[in-house]
Structure 1
């Protein structure tokens, strides 16, 4: 998961869809709290100015005639809006109806004339109040003055903020969903080229395309060219390795022939044991050279150009060639292969695989060889059986080993089944030997439709 680009995109997208609306909501709430507080302070200042109009001059004496503020909440008990006037000389207190009998305790600070101070005080039921006060003197000397105070419950301010946040919550939720949708769209756009490249790789792997170039988006063109160059280099090295192995195998044939001739001379001289030893060594070397030459020609899923091949034409071509060279009279080739069945193998590997198995069946069959195919969703099975003597169960593993022959009078090196098994395993398949319905040996090849093996072919 740590190395998953898709997981990283979704993790960042989900985190953004959660954090950005939260941060936006917190920022909006902070800004709106400042706005509500400033608006409330402006209204309270206006209320203070209105209250000071209650000072009247009657008969040369300033008297207080409290004026009722326009907002009716000032007269509703414990409404959250309060005013209070204190006579500094007589300590007479006049209060709003909303305070009932409660007296707001004004701070003992020095309050210059005609200036407004702002305080945080406690109100009824110990609630927090935002209080503004102003001192108005009676005359120029200011020996007699009144302290006008107006306050608002901070819970009222908070309730306004909570209300607007509740109203705007759907907006922030929609913002989160919008960010998720944007993340999904952006992730799809970013993953699209990678998915296209992955699909192109699958086509190359399956043999439906040879190279990546021109199959991937422009952003991955450099990667495709480098990958194709790597494939070309790998194929070139594999081809050179096969050629060197073939050259080595062919170069051994002449020295081995000379050794066999020398063995005949030694045997003629009476050294039968030494001649037999030389022949055994030469025979082993011949088998090894033949085997390595055959294995060098196996392309495998990683080295060859794998294409989708129809089985029917190749099988008919091989059976026709073997029928012309068969020494068995009236040999019947019963081909029951569905024309729609296809395999994805290198063509030379498929020809070598089917050819070696049919040639082995031809050598042992008495009168009939049957070839059939069975396909399901995961694999294709090719069944080849004959009416020959078959192979005993305890000898079947030995039959798949290197150079094992059960009849020295028959031509060949005994490598057919072994090489066929290596080709099948190179493509992630399997080869099984069992008793056939015709009385002889049945060889069952099982080849996967797409998932080829990726292991290297052993050339040792």
Structure 2
């Protein structure tokens, strides 16, 4: 059955199949309605014609004193004079008072008689019925019983009949012409549908060629104007291409940075080992720590870059900050610092990985603990779908020039303070990957205030 479903994989064939089904259904219903209306019109016209002939027959009927019926003048339609022409009349005078029954009939009947009237027929009433005529033809008969004003006869029965061929042949001819006309109409509508579908799908063909150019590397994005229904798809696809290119550039840059960062400690270790330096164990420990920090830095960036593509991430920040504060109080226990969480709403959540949030805020809190005199205050609020997290300390603070410089990887606010200089650099890098930002300004406590803007869940 797979071959039956295969054509429906084509959007063009699906559209044409839908149009074909609707056109055939519509034309069939319209053709049936038109045929029925024409049939009703022909039959009504036939009945009207029979009624006219019956009125003429009634007006021409004469009955003398002896009860003999005659017609003067005879009905004028020439078909009454041709044998088996399909149009017939008959006048039946019943037997009465010893007189034999009398039948007057058109020459077209030849030697055939129309049936007598139904016993249900009332004087002055017309009756529509069917009967068999010459050669077994199907006849439509209109019968009328009249009472003559003169003569001994009580009533006479007048009949006018028409052969089925009189209405069947025009209906059949009309049906053939209607079928041809509707067939031409269906063919024309299908051709128009094919042209319309082909023209409507032409932008998709052009889009396919543009995609082939992207796949072959001739261009790096899809250019050109497309219909409004397709343009959003093109824009989204261009964004995907741009993000993939950016991700590839970041991966290459990170790989290069990591290789360069590891090259230095490895060179130092190699030189120390070759020179048989007695301080080799301490040097190995320092360089291994430096290499570990570099690996952790690049792993954190890689994890954040992957998390940005994941939807539905939600990390409540209050429990994470409470855990980080407890860790920092133990790390800086000898300085007796006070870490404050200033009215942070429990419903605030970060749209990203909790590990990345801990990486960023852990570095900021650790840096604040190094420079604070007594207090470190953390606050957060939400504005326009973003989280603003502020970490303030009561330390000496930083000038605007130094505030921007400390975010450079490998730079520290004070070179005499231990560290690799990766802390605030990775904070800004991770925030940037999530579409946020990190900056330092003067806080209300007199020291530095690190503000991190991140997407809110």
For the aligned pair, the TM-score class normalised by the smaller chain equals 0.5 to 0.7
State the 1:230 CA deviation.
1.5
Structure 1 83/141 Cα, relative in aligned 2: closer, same or farther at 3 Å? Answer: closer
Give me the whole-angstrom Cα distance separating, in 2, the residues matched to 1:142 and 1:250. 136
1:38 match: 44
2:414 match: none
2:447 match: none
Question: Is 1:117 aligned with 2:127?
Answer: yes
2:251 match: 241
Structure 1 141/76 Cα, relative in aligned 2: closer, same or farther at 3 Å? Answer: closer
Correspondence for 1:78 among 41, 66, 84: 84
State the 1:82 CA deviation.
1.7
Give me the whole-angstrom Cα distance separating, in 2, the residues matched to 1:64 and 1:141. 9
State the 1:146 CA deviation.
0.7
1:65 alignment partner, SS class: strand
Question: Is 1:178 aligned with 2:188?
Answer: yes
Give me the whole-angstrom Cα distance separating, in 2, the residues matched to 1:44 and 1:172. 33
State the 1:262 CA deviation.
6.8
State the 1:48 CA deviation.
0.5
Gaps of 5+ in 1: 269-288, 290-460
Structure 1 111/141 Cα, relative in aligned 2: closer, same or farther at 3 Å? Answer: farther
Give me the whole-angstrom Cα distance separating, in 1, the residues matched to 2:45 and 2:129. 16
Structure 1 207/218 Cα, relative in aligned 2: closer, same or farther at 3 Å? Answer: farther
1:406 match: none
Contact 1:20 1:176 survives alignment (8 Å): no
Structure 1 265/209 Cα, relative in aligned 2: closer, same or farther at 3 Å? Answer: closer
Give 1:372-411 correspondences, 5 Å limit. none
Give me the whole-angstrom Cα distance separating, in 1, the residues matched to 2:76 and 2:238. 85
Give me the whole-angstrom Cα distance separating, in 1, the residues matched to 2:270 and 2:136. 119
Contact 2:63 2:151 survives alignment (8 Å): no
Q: Deviations over 1:345-368 (max 9, x none)?
A: xxxxxxxxxxxxxxxxxxxxxxxx
Question: Is 1:201 aligned with 2:219?
Answer: no
Contact 1:55 1:62 survives alignment (8 Å): no
User: Please, which moves more after superposition, 32-41 or 94-103?
Assistant: 94-103
2:113 alignment partner, SS class: coil
1:219 match: 229
Question: Is 1:65 aligned with 2:70?
Answer: yes
2:168 match: 158
1:191 match: 201
Give me the whole-angstrom Cα distance separating, in 2, the residues matched to 1:57 and 1:141. 6
1:194 alignment partner, SS class: helix
State the 1:238 CA deviation.
1.9
Give me the whole-angstrom Cα distance separating, in 1, the residues matched to 2:17 and 2:191. 13
Question: Is 1:27 aligned with 2:37?
Answer: no
Give me the whole-angstrom Cα distance separating, in 1, the residues matched to 2:8 and 2:177. 40
State the 1:107 CA deviation.
5.1
State the 1:33 CA deviation.
1.0
2:9 alignment partner, SS class: coil
Contact 1:17 1:177 survives alignment (8 Å): no
Q: Deviations over 1:123-166 (max 9, x none)?
A: 23332211101111134999711110111112321111112333
State the 1:223 CA deviation.
1.6
TM-score by length of 1: 0.52
Q: How many residues align?
A: 272
Give me the whole-angstrom Cα distance separating, in 1, the residues matched to 2:256 and 2:229. 42
Q: Deviations over 1:326-346 (max 9, x none)?
A: xxxxxxxxxxxxxxxxxxxxx
TM-score by length of 2: 0.52
Contact 1:47 1:69 survives alignment (8 Å): yes
Give me the whole-angstrom Cα distance separating, in 1, the residues matched to 2:156 and 2:128. 17
Give me the whole-angstrom Cα distance separating, in 2, the residues matched to 1:218 and 1:245. 41
Contact 2:63 2:70 survives alignment (8 Å): no
Contact 1:85 1:147 survives alignment (8 Å): yes
2:229 alignment partner, SS class: helix
Give me the whole-angstrom Cα distance separating, in 2, the residues matched to 1:159 and 1:142. 44
Correspondence for 1:3 among 9, 23, 29: 9
